[in-house]
Amino acid sequence: MNARLSSLAGASLCALALATPAVADAPAGYYDSLEGKTGVALKKAVKAIVRKHTVISYGDATWNAFRKTDVRVVNGKECWWDMYSSNNVAVSSGHPGMNIEHSVANSWWGGTKNDAYKDIVHLNPSDKDGNSRKSNYPLTELSKCSWTNGVVNVGSPKSGQGGGSSNGFEPHDDYKGDFARTYMYMFVVYDDINWGRTSGGQNVEWMFTASPFELKPWAKELLLRWSANDAVSQKERDRNDGVYSQQKNRNPFIDLPDLADYIWGSKAGEPYHVDGAHEPDPGPVDPDPIDPDPVDPDPVDPSPEDPALVPGTYVLVASQSDIRAGESYLILGSDSHVAMTLEQNKEKTYFEPTETIVINDGVIEKAPSDAALITLETLGDGYALKASDLGGNVKGYLFSSANKTINLTDYSTTKGVKAKLTYSAQGVSVVYGPTVSSGAGALYYNKSARRFTTYTSSGQERLDFYRKVKDASGIEDMTDEDDSVMVEVWGNNILVPDGAEIYDLNGRRLASGENLARGIYIVSSPAFSKCVKVMIK
């Protein structure tokens, strides 16, 4: 079921019906030849299974195949599933403004129109602009983002990544595992083609060495980590079945998620067993034998060993979806690790900083007593930033109407209160006015002058936001009470009423309830008397 799920359309169905969707498996015996193989022999056996397949002509036939692999329903309309933008282009309209994108750049083997060029495992319907911006850059994590459409991110690779390329492509978090498993497939199945040359002859061995053909250490680590952190989704399973219906082969790294670890990871050299457990570790078994639910060890009561889940701690904002109305944040200088206070100079043009804060793995366990707590309220197409002390005493709203001036006002409607908040790899941008240069500027931290204020030009220290983790005491298990029947679970999808929001156990709001990994999720809505806990099995 690939629909975007936003409402029940008046349906009142029991939320305890945690059905498992029907998913087509690989044919019986498809992977039998992998049994007991190790190392190079295992890799060759994988290639032998999937290399021979039905080759689909590139072009119209590809788009016809996409109808089986890359279509989802949005508001009752079939749309192309584009992993390079958030656009919803109707299948019935053709594919205006879209390309057939090679997720593994075809220039890496000189653009030859071979089987790799036509293999739909790594071909996707793509927004033209996202495709163009992504170019033939290697997959990386970015230290600096120079362009984004919210799904495709392009910029400077992190230190140690990129293989010498000055640019990298970082996909949306929801698709990192998808891309990693696709790259693994391509690098195993087509290890014998002429990799390493663009059509102009320039060497582009960023992620691998061409002779012998091997993944570079940084690329191997990245692909394994992305594959482990972003588990196989229902979208991938459905797509794999669609690929098999068209090409008569499958991506083994989707069917057998642990296979990569036996080829490149910590289990390399160990025999692979086809009848082994090929699902991610579900976590510890419930130690409480009295609790009748052995797969739910009360995860909403976080362990002190995981400070990211402890109410009252502050967790680093890591995506645009972490910025949302109703949540409260500390604002820090990204390098200096000092938070903004509500103490101002006499002219009331800047806020002073706290002392340096101890941060452990993106978590602040204790905020300085003089730190300002900023709560976001929706204001037009931006936010009003309501400022309180840590005791919850509201002091006013931040506003700026001139360069190098930040102050407090009592009213959220006052001109200069609205700010645009945008996340990037560099931090969070808080802009007052249409743009940084044409408005009052963006909020920065001036390290040398020790002040938080607005500037119309860059050069100051960017900001990190740390979200306060809320107390989860109001969360309840799903029962037959009125709130729970407003939520429905279909396989890996959660259907919720209009206006409801879905969160993971790290407190991050999800873009939709579609194609979720196994685990526990929290549904919140103004229509509920309390939050509802949902399990995807």
Task: Please report the pLDDT score of residue 308 as a whole number.
Answer: 58
Same domain, 209 and 319: no
- CA distances 533 to 102, 195, 331, 425, 463, Å, are 40, 49, 30, 31, 33
- Chain segment 274-296, per-residue pLDDT in tens: 876 554 443 343 333 333 333 33
Which of 263, 282, 315 is the endpoint of a domain? 263
Mean pLDDT of all residues in 236-249: 95
Q: Of 435, 468, 501, which closes a domain?
A: 468
Task: Say which residue the tokens 């050299």 belong to.
Answer: 269
Q: What residue numbers bound the domain in which 160 lies?
A: 32-263
Q: Using an 8 Å Cβ cutoff, are 330 and 466 in contact? A: yes
Identify the sign of the CA torsion 33, 38, 41, 43: positive
Domain presence at residue 390: yes
Residue 170 has pLDDT above 50, yes or no: yes
Q: Which residues contact 215 (CB under 8 A, 6 or more apart)?
A: 187, 207, 208, 223, 264
Report the run of H or E that residue 446 belongs to, with start and end: strand 441-446
The verdict on 259 and 341 lying in the same domain is: no
Q: What is the rounded average pLDDT of the residues 99-114?
A: 91
Across the range 519-533, mean pLDDT stands at 73
Average pLDDT over residues 119-135: 96
**Is residue 217 over pLDDT 70?**
yes
* Per-residue confidence (pLDDT) for residue 411, from 0 to 100: 75
Based on the domain organization, do 87 and 170 belong to the same domain? Answer: yes
Residue 198 binned pLDDT confidence (cut-offs 50, 70, 90): low
Give 351-385 pLDDT, tens digit per residue. Answer: 999 999 998 878 898 899 999 999 998 888 889 99
**Element containing residue 242 per DSSP (H, E):** helix 234-247
319 vs 504: CA distance, rounded Å? 14
Q: How confident is the model at residue 304 (pLDDT cuts 50, 70, 90)?
A: very low
140 and 238 fall within a common domain: yes
Query: Which residue type sits at 342?
Result: L
Domain assignment present for residue 208? The answer is yes
**CB-based contact 511:174 (threshold 8 Å):** yes
For position 536, what pLDDT does the model report?
Answer: 76
Angle subtended at Cα 188 by Cα 185 and Cα 194, rounded to the nearest 5 degrees: 115
Spatial distance between the Cα atoms of 506 and 315, rounded to a whole number of angstroms: 9
| Cβ neighbours for 422, distance < 8 A, ≥ 6 positions apart | 320, 428, 429, 431
Verify that 167 and 200 share a domain, yes or no.
yes
What CATH number does the domain containing 374 carry?
2.80.10.50
- The strand ranges marked E within 295-381 are 314-316, 328-333, 340-344, 351-353, 363-364, 373-379
**168 and 221 fall within a common domain:** yes
Q: How confident is the model at residue 527 (pLDDT cuts 50, 70, 90)?
A: low
- Same domain, yes or no, for 102 and 155? yes
pTM for the predicted model, two decimal places: 0.52
Same-domain status, 464 and 527: no
Mean per-residue pLDDT for 41-64?
A: 95
Is residue 439 in some structural domain? Answer: yes
Does a structural domain hold residue 25?
A: no
Count of structural domains within the chain: 3
Question: How much of the chain exceeds pLDDT 90, in percent?
Answer: 55
Task: Say if 298 falls within a structural domain.
Answer: no
Q: Express as a percent the part of the chain with pLDDT over 70.
A: 83
pLDDT at residue 464 tops 90: yes
Q: Which residue has the higher pLDDT, 520 or 316?
A: 316
Are 426 and 328 found together in one domain?
yes
pLDDT digits (tens, 9 = 90+) for 13-35: 222 222 223 334 788 899 999 99
Q: What is the pLDDT of residue 309?
A: 61
- Mean pLDDT of all residues in the chain? 82
Q: Is residue 327 part of a domain?
A: yes
Examine the pLDDT at 269 and tell me if it is beyond 90: no
User: In this structure, are 463 and 480 located in the same domain?
Assistant: no
Answer yes or no: do 211 and 334 share one domain. no
Residue 138 lies in a domain: yes
Residue 161, pLDDT > 90, answer yes
- The answer on 532 and 427 residing in a single domain is no
- Among 432, 450, 468, the domain-final residue is 468
pLDDT at 526 over 90: no
What pLDDT, in 10s, does the model give residues 329-354? Answer: 999 999 899 999 999 999 999 999 99
- 124 lies in a domain? yes
